[in-house]
């Protein structure tokens, strides 16, 4: 029997690249996301090589999350790795100019959605035991402040602390938990963040060398496939060409 990975947000970016990476290693895939046509397309590509189960799923919908887990086909029930990847940033403008609805969407997706999926899959992971893992997609924004990060960065700080706290409670079960925290990576992330502004997205990634989805997928796969006695707590990664800047000082 091959190992089984469940990936949220497998329709784009890191999630889709991770699906391909795990498929390369022969894992069975449970792929979820809201965009059905993208899931179908990816399943058609990967099911040539490995077993694939897809489920259209909005992680914010607690009941739907539980149903997807409860109704997994027998061959996909014993999940070994959960990749909590679904997430988004919205409204890059200053906090004082943001619609409250955008803050709520980030909290509902990046925090409550991740919690919904984790809660539903935990019993299975504990049953799997040694070698099982949860890989949470955090961000450098969860550790380092910058303008326009407001609730997005705060939601990723939650991911970091939730990861650490889970580790405490899961001690003795064999289940590992990791916060993979990337910096700037070229995916559909900025298109979503800017409300579909392709020019703004292109401008951010132009004339530099951002991380690619495949780079992050490799890190996700790496943490999940280390020997069972090794737990990476947090893996923060930036493009070589990205670093921090000076403190901002308001002057007269
Ligand atoms: P993409 O926008 O390319 O992918 C985001 C994925 O999340 C999509 O598959 C989308 O699927 C899914 N998603 C969003 N909302 C929901 C929802 N409510 N329910 C289910 N799925 C959802 O971005 P990335 O691949 O870059 O981002 C993946 C993760 O990595 C996110 O958590 C992001 O915060 C984090 N991250 C990104 C960085 C970057 O610079 N790109 C850096 C650090 C972290 P669909 O729309 O089909 O539902
Ligand atoms: C996304 C990376 O640098 O835009 O989490 O905060 S960054």
CA of 85 to the centre of ligand 1 (A): 6
Token match 């894992």: residue?
27
What pTM was estimated for this model as a whole? 0.98
Segments forming the whole domain that contains residue 44:
4-237
Positive/negative CA dihedral, 136, 219, 10, 140? positive
Q: Are 7 and 29 in contact (CB under 8 A)?
A: yes
SS3 31: strand
**To which H or E segment does residue 158 belong?**
helix 150-170
Q: Just list the catalytic residues.
A: 152
Q: What is the mean pLDDT of the chain?
A: 98
Residue 243 located in a structural domain: no
**CATH number, residue 29:** 3.40.50.720
From residue 41, how far is each of 12, 16, 45, 160, 225 by CA, in Å? 11, 11, 6, 32, 26
Residue 57 located in a structural domain: yes
In this structure, the residues whose C-beta lies within 6 A of any atom of ligand 2 are 139-141, 183-184
Share of the chain above pLDDT 70, in %: 100
Q: How far apart are CA 204 and CA 36, in angstroms?
A: 29
Which residue has the CA at smallest separation from atom 6 of ligand 2? 141
Which residues touch 31 (CB under 8 Å, ≥6 apart)? 7, 10, 15, 19, 39, 42, 43, 52, 53, 54, 55
Tell me: the pLDDT tens digits for 20-35?
999 999 999 999 999 9
Residue 39 located in a structural domain: yes
Q: Which numbered ligand comes closest to the C-alpha of 114?
A: 1
């Amino acid at each position: 029997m091959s190992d089984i990975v469940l990936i949220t947000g497998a329709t784009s970016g890191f999630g889709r690249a991770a699906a391909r990476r795990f498929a390369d290693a022969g894992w069975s895939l449970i792929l979820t996301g809201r965009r059905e046509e993208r899931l179908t397309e990816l399943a058609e590509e990967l099911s040539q090589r490995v077993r694939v189960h897809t489920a259209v799923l909005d992680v914010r919908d607690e009941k739907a999350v539980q149903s997807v887990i409860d109704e997994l086909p027998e061959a996909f029930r014993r999940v070994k790795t959960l990749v909590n990847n679904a997430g988004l940033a919205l409204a890059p403008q200053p906090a004082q100019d943001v619609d409250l609805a955008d803050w709520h969407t980030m909290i509902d997706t990046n925090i409550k959605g991740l919690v919904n999926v984790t809660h539903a899959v935990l019993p299975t992971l504990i049953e799997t035991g040694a070698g099982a893992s949860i890989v949470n997609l955090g961000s450098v924004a969860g550790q380092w402040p910058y303008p326009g990060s407001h609730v997005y960065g705060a939601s990723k700080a939650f991911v970091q602390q939730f990861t650490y706290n889970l580790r405490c409670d899961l001690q003795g079960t064999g289940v590992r938990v990791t916060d993979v925290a990337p910096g700037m990576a070229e995916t559909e992330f900025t298109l979503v963040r800017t409300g579909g502004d392709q020019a703004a997205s292109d401008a951010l990634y132009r004339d530099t060398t951002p991380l690619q989805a495949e780079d992050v997928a490799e890190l996700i796969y790496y943490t999940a496939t280390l020997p069972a006695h090794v737990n990476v707590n947090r893996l923060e990664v930036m493009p070589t060409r990205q670093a921090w800047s000076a403190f901002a000082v308001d002057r007269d």
